[in-house]
Structure 1
């Protein structure tokens, strides 16, 4: 794909945020190897700007568009540092950065001021799950002890910002002009239209994002420094640890991402302590482990449409009888017994 017309088309797609990783690599290679690349692509920017000027929506937020371009550049820079020598692509990246700045300056309507929009929030209690509809017709399933905050309406051309503390499954209505961004602690989950699950309880050490359909970008925003961690596809999960800021990307069954909505809880090689910590929110119970060694027992377990009695009975069987338990008034579960190790 070395023909200049194709490269111009590719660069236009880049400005619009529509390129994938392979296309970005092709574009970076062209910028590095062709001395006339800068003048060619400057002409593309001017042409695209003229098109935008003819059909401009005055509510479009150019700063949000600039942020999207910088995010793409940041992702390309991270990939380059992993797979290519640093200096080979320096000139190409400088040109792309310049393109982002020029694009920002050329865009009409930079002085447009948007009136503040009132925020709305919803909080669930222990064992409560609800389904709700956002102003853009996106569907959200809220887990127990979860708080979500969103604007009472989404501005045309502006990103759709959501704040989440807890667990929620999103079915986002596609809108290429308004990215859907969920802020959960230090992480931002960015999509255009897809379905995925976010687990982000402030009291927990981990935040997870699991994708069922579409693609999801996960960005770390720590101390004002934004870093793109991963671009997830269906069946992929990122687990981010708040204490040391490390993360891991793994493969899971896509259908497991929203199992909790239908009372289906899936655990893969997790210790008993973490399992009970997560289950107590959905069953509104408190667990007391008399022998701390039991908390280290590890399980692969699936609980489907079971009450707390069924859950504890299954855990006891899976532990070969090592775990003993007593349920008091369906509010407190006491566990004791020998270690599983």
Structure 2
């Protein structure tokens, strides 16, 4: 069983969709870890209870989570009881490999927080800044920030940052081929790997965004509230736009807001929200742009039905996925 299969299994467990055999396998992980780890109680059931209690004790109000886990070494089948419980409770939060420099110059452990498709979760960073992850997202950061900067990497997905102000320690977000720097503000970064661009949107304060070195035109743009910068991943070309930042962050409340988005981008965002593959079968159809806003309670079929009328396309459910095709004339 590889890492992806394990993650899918734990996701089904969290949603109560496991078979009896799968539940038994997860229970065995707890028991195996308890026997292998000397610092856990010898009784497997006691170890299981302690793991859950420790993790639940780290949960903050309003679904805010804080990193306080030990390093985990991933085996082929059996995992540490604390790691399994953390994955179940905290939306696949685990310690990744790699080291950074902490305030004392020593190597700091790197942490990774992630969410499943359809999940929205908030984590507390080492400086008490907050990051909320949209479905299918992950962010990587050191257990202790360095002496000069507070740096995190959005490795995939979309994240909403509420940064604690610190004039002497800039907060930096690396995402795709962009680097965003602030002192203290509220902003959102969207950088799904399968999308063609990175988008930085400011809700309050001021941020500076620089595209990566190596582009023919490397530059820094400064954004104020209700401004968005769109950076093309291939060319590095950047375009600033006026937007409604609150509407675009509707995913924090479960809503969806598409502002002149390509249909192929909308398909990906729907996939991340509803955990169902959504495929656009025609390239010309995929680059069609649409603008629409949907409430949190609307279903996938509600949304696709409205978009199909606006975009003059068809969709159908087939073999566990949704296929979007051109209308037949």
**TM norm. shorter chain > 0.5:** yes
1:211/1:257 contact within 8 Å kept: no
Instruction: State yes or no: 1:127 paired with 2:118.
Output: yes
- Alpha-carbon shift at residue 226 of structure 1 (Å): 10
1:235/1:253 contact within 8 Å kept: yes
1:317 maps to 309
Instruction: Report the secondary structure of 2:108's partner residue.
Output: coil
Instruction: Report the CA distance shift for 1:158/1:289 in structure 2 as closer, same or farther (over 3 A).
Output: closer
Distance 2:185 2:289 in 1: 33
Name which of 144, 148, 163 aligns with 1:158: 148
Instruction: Report the CA distance shift for 1:339/1:239 in structure 2 as closer, same or farther (over 3 A).
Output: farther
- Alpha-carbon shift at residue 327 of structure 1 (Å): 2.7
Could you give the per-residue CA deviations for residues 6-49 of structure 1, whole angstroms, max 9, x where no partner exists?
xxxxxxxxxxxxxxxxxxxxxxxxxxxxxxxxxxxxxxxxxxxx
1:218 maps to 209
1:239 maps to 230
Unaligned ranges ≥5, structure 1: 1-111
Distance 2:269 2:210 in 1: 25
Distance 1:169 1:339 in 2: 40
Instruction: Report the CA distance shift for 1:296/1:218 in structure 2 as closer, same or farther (over 3 A).
Output: closer
Name which of 290, 293, 298 aligns with 1:302: 293
TM score, norm. by length of structure 1 = 0.61
Instruction: State yes or no: 1:186 paired with 2:177.
Output: yes
Distance 1:226 1:317 in 2: 40
- Alpha-carbon shift at residue 337 of structure 1 (Å): 4.1
Instruction: Report the CA distance shift for 1:225/1:181 in structure 2 as closer, same or farther (over 3 A).
Output: farther
Unaligned ranges ≥5, structure 2: 1-102
Per residue, is there more helix in 1 or in 2? Answer: 1
CA RMSD of aligned residues (A): 2.5
- Alpha-carbon shift at residue 142 of structure 1 (Å): 0.7
How many aligned positions are there? 225
Larger Rg: 1
- Alpha-carbon shift at residue 323 of structure 1 (Å): 2.5
1:79 maps to none
